[in-house]
Amino acid sequence: MKRAPALAVIWLVLAGGLPAMAKAGDACDLALQLLGADYERLPAQGRDECSVPDPVRLKRLSPEIALPGEPVLQCDTARAMALWADRMLKPAAAMMPGAPRLTAIRTGPGHVCRDRVGTGKDDPKPSEHSTGSAIDVTAFEFDNGATIAIEPREGDMQTAYQAAARAGACLFFTTVLGPGANAAHDDHLHLDMAERNGGWRLCQ
């Protein structure tokens, strides 16, 4: 029982709940460091509608899990990714035959200046990628040499892992789109931290 207060503080830090004690950026740094992430603080990225507040280049989510794409993200998105990996992806991997360990997540570049897919020329809306709030995940790699690429799947253990990863992501991100949501997302999971009225989350 003596450890409970310390654990509560660590959870508050990881979840970003210590605004009174630390600036947002400091709390995010602390959370990434507690999770063992490897990242680099970057100067301001982009401009106007395509600028990233609080940017980091994320190289590893933890000592075990590499991000070969080294995406550029808002620190909050980087923290959400590191928590998702620690709390969902690692334990889910251990449930598969042979209990492989997750060693890498393949991603897109994170920050990209472009409009949202499906918005027209007359009414373009910047993508969440424009502000570094979004990350595209294309595959998971394991220490037994296996890779699970995101794709429409059915009926096997890889399907179960992909489904667990996707459902679990909605606890950490406010938008989760993947195969079946629409044709543009058949080969990756799109995850972002968009803020919507009433805290609405879009998980499809």
How far, CA to CA in Å, does 72 sit from each of 45, 110, 146? 9, 5, 26
Strands 45-47, 175-177: parallel, antiparallel or unpaired by DSSP? unpaired
79 scored as a contact of Zn ion (CB under 5 A): no
Residue 29 or 136: which CB sits closer to Zn ion? 136
CB of residue 38 to Zn ion, shortest distance in Å: 23
Residue type, 189: L
Residue 103 or 138: which CB sits closer to Zn ion? 138
Contact track, Zn ion, 117-136, x by CB under 5 A: -----------------x-x
User: Measured between alpha carbons, how far apart are the two ends of the chain, in Å?
Assistant: 40
- In a 10 Å sphere around its CB, with 0-12 CB exposed, 13-18 middle and 19+ buried, how is residue 46 labelled? middle
Residue 12 or 50: which CB sits closer to Zn ion? 50
CB of residue 163 to Zn ion, shortest distance in Å: 19
Residue 142 or 172: which CB sits closer to Zn ion? 172
CB of residue 150 to Zn ion, shortest distance in Å: 12
As a whole number of angstroms, the distance between CA 173 and CA 40 comes to 22
Q: Which residues ranging from 181 to 200 are in contact with Zn ion (CB under 5 A)?
A: 190
Total residues in contact with Zn ion, by rule CB under 5 A? 3
Give phi and psi for 190, each to the nearest 5: -95, 125
How far, CA to CA in Å, does 13 sit from each of 17, 33, 73, 100, 182? 6, 11, 19, 29, 36
As a whole number of angstroms, the distance between CA 146 and CA 125 comes to 38
CB of residue 174 to Zn ion, shortest distance in Å: 13
Residue 13 or 176: which CB sits closer to Zn ion? 176
Residue 111 or 190: which CB sits closer to Zn ion? 190
**Binding footprint of Zn ion on the chain (CB under 5 A):** 134, 136, 190
